[in-house]
A and B are shown apart, each in its own frame.
Chain A
Amino acid sequence: MAFSGNFMCTSFKKELLEGVHNFKNSGGNTFKLAMYTNSASFTAATTAYTTSNEISGTGYTAGGGTLTRVDPTTSSTTAFTDFADLTFSSSSLTARGALIYNDSASGDPTVVVLDFGADKTSSSGDFTIVFPTADASNAIIRIA
């Protein structure tokens, strides 16, 4: 298997209705971003963080990096939330994609699968995941 685009996990949609996830900046859950090789086999049916095919390298520890939450907001009829860019400093790693998951919730449930489009590599440098513009058309998680 390989990465095949960005998608939201189906279990996440259900868990939103169950109140499992809290994205508020203050008092919200801890969301983490873990990175994977192109051997990872994620689908919309993926429900939880896994160490299978997770990358390893200098500057990266299993489980990935903790994301800084930005308060959810609205624009017109669309609600959206955002995260601050995440940098793995002084790192030497290669990753093809990532998984955002809720580290606070039981079982580390997944949120979204992110495809970088190609292998991305840092070599004794910085590896930064840049989140899209936080608006109704581009934000990382949007409910229209």
Chain B
Amino acid sequence: MMVEGGKIHTGIVNVHTTSNRGFTPEEVAARCLDRIVKVSESAPPAIRDQALAYKDSLRQVLTHYMREAIQSDRTTVYNALLDAGQKELAETIRRL
């Protein structure tokens, strides 16, 4: 008996870039969500709608905690700069 199959494929990558800034929490959360929640185009409408609603609620939680992580990291950087005697620079970071 012959068995069909055994093909090897490569996927397509996307490239996201920024100029004069980093990615916002919303942009990163969108990429993160695409990895966590996959909604099939062929899913029954009721299930798809529920999945998309869940995805959106996750988006808000992710964005909130990403902002919190950023602020917390700035506190760490602020203190590192203070310890290094860079009071002005530390203050600039704190005000970001």
Contacts and interface: CB of A to CB of B under 8 A. Distances in A.
Interface of A: 6-8, 13, 16, 77, 85, 89-90, 95, 98, 112, 114, 116, 120-135, 138-144
Contacts, number: 92
B16 interface: yes
A29 to B, nearest CB: 18
Given A126-B22, A127-B17, A130-B31, A143 B7 contact: yes
A54 B5 CA distance: 36
B67 interface: no
B42 to A, nearest CB: 11
B20 A125 contact: yes
Contact of A126 (B6, B10, B12, B23): B23
Interface in B65-90: none
Given A77-B5, A144-B5, A133 B34 contact: yes
A19 to B, nearest CB: 16
A120 B38 contact: no
B11 A138 contact: yes
A22 B9 CA distance: 17
A44 B26 CA distance: 38
14 contacts: A6-B11, A6-B13, A95-B15, A114-B13, A125-B18, A125-B22, A126-B23, A127-B15, A128-B15, A130-B14, A132-B11, A133-B34, A142-B8, A143-B8
A130 B8 contact: no
A7 B8 CA distance: 10
A67 to B, nearest CB: 11
Given A85-B31, A130-B31, A112 B18 contact: no
